[in-house]
Structure 1
Amino acid sequence: MPKKRILKISIIASLLAICIAAASWWLYITYTYIEFAPLVFDRQKGYVTPQTADDFYKNLRVVLKSQHIDHKLNVLDHPLIQFKTASDKALMCDLTAKAQDVVWIYNHMDEKLPSFLCEGKDYQGFVFHKEAAYGHTVEYGDIVDIELGCKDIEMTKRVLQLQVEQIFKLHKIYANIELPLYYRQYFGYRRENGNRIVYVDLVRKDITSVSALLNGIIRFYQGDKANLEAKVNLTREVVESFGTLVDRGI
């Protein structure tokens, strides 16, 4: 057999093998599904797996559906995504971030929630009605639930920011607190004397479960600064109390 013919056959065979390998790889990355592994980018360590809240995969399902990412669910209801999607690290970081962003999840959820969002410069918070706040606020008794609007929340934020700064100066235990690092939950009521009170629950963003934050007042009885609470008198424009759940009243 002439050498040229042998060479042509070898080239054709090699090209065919390459095509088969490429097709096999395409089929693999397209039809192979693996469990979603949360990912974030750390400037010092590179891509790392972050800690996530218990409801992370529930929120992730909202993200994948909204972003039209093809996925399936395993027996634990954890999303399985295509291998090619999992290989895109930038996309994985973006999806992970969205699943942990309470405001993003709030804006893309279909279910009816007992709270609504108010946000402004340096704050994000959720307003609840009496039923969702029951048992968590002081003076509950015969108080009258009032409807709060985002203008009330903005005023609450201004009063809280101004007067809490004075509390920080007087009590060194609060010296390192930065209010923008906390989500807020609000509940409004009126006292017998007519004063309008806003109960504010502040929960540190890095430990918050998205579902819990949206569905009811959160409690962390740890005695540290993970969970703070305040009462703001809107009628008098004063902060009546501020502190952790243990040192309530400082």
Structure 2
Amino acid sequence: MSATLDRDAVPQFVLPLVVHIERDAPPARTAALEAAARAVLMFLADERSVEGEWADCVTAWTDGRIRKVVRRARGAEWRRASALDGVTLEHEGAEVRVFPPVPLDAWPKDLARLQVSGTDLDDPAAPPAPEPGLPVLWFNPELELTAGKAMAQAGHGAQLTWLRLDDEGRKRWAADGFPLAVRTAAPDAWPALTTSGLPVVRDAGFTEIAPGSCTVVGDMPELRAG
């Protein structure tokens, strides 16, 4: 994207994410957030996004506001969504599919009919501390986000971390399957994370929270080392 391009002046695209939520077997919240983040990374690394049939719409999306919207599906809805072009990632009982970017007001009908609200998920127990050396997406401890909003923010954090890496770093992460953890930062650790030089997501404020709110910090060992 040109450095002088006004992101608000170009046509706006959105990256659709759909999370599979059956009434009797919803995924855990942290698993869903981690699945969303990894699915976004898998989509970005896919050859179809880099130089294949999705490349033009990916460029159009990244030229504007890099928006992501999470919707939920179950049963036949999920099967119809799964038939559309995209990539699906399963992680610890959570299943998320990412689709090529679409114009903000021109979603495919099988995605447009899906609900945005209602993605309320919980963790049955507090997640353990991340393994040493594992990339972590740290969430702002002062914000309360719905699961759908948090999944989009996790995707943003993963994408900013991906963009900060060099080609070799991206190849290594992809070859490992994009391991990462999503956790809420300790309140006393959050200020230092946001000023550490690590990738920080600042929300545009379209939904739920105030514009400019810092939501996620992407903490990767090799970015700290650099």
Same fold per superposition (TM over 0.5): no
Greater per-residue helix proportion: 1
- Structure with higher Rg: it is 1
| TM-score, normalised with respect to structure 2 | 0.28
Could you state the TM-score of these two structures normalised by the residue count of structure 1? 0.26
Q: Which has the higher contact order (CA 8 A, sep 6+)?
A: 2
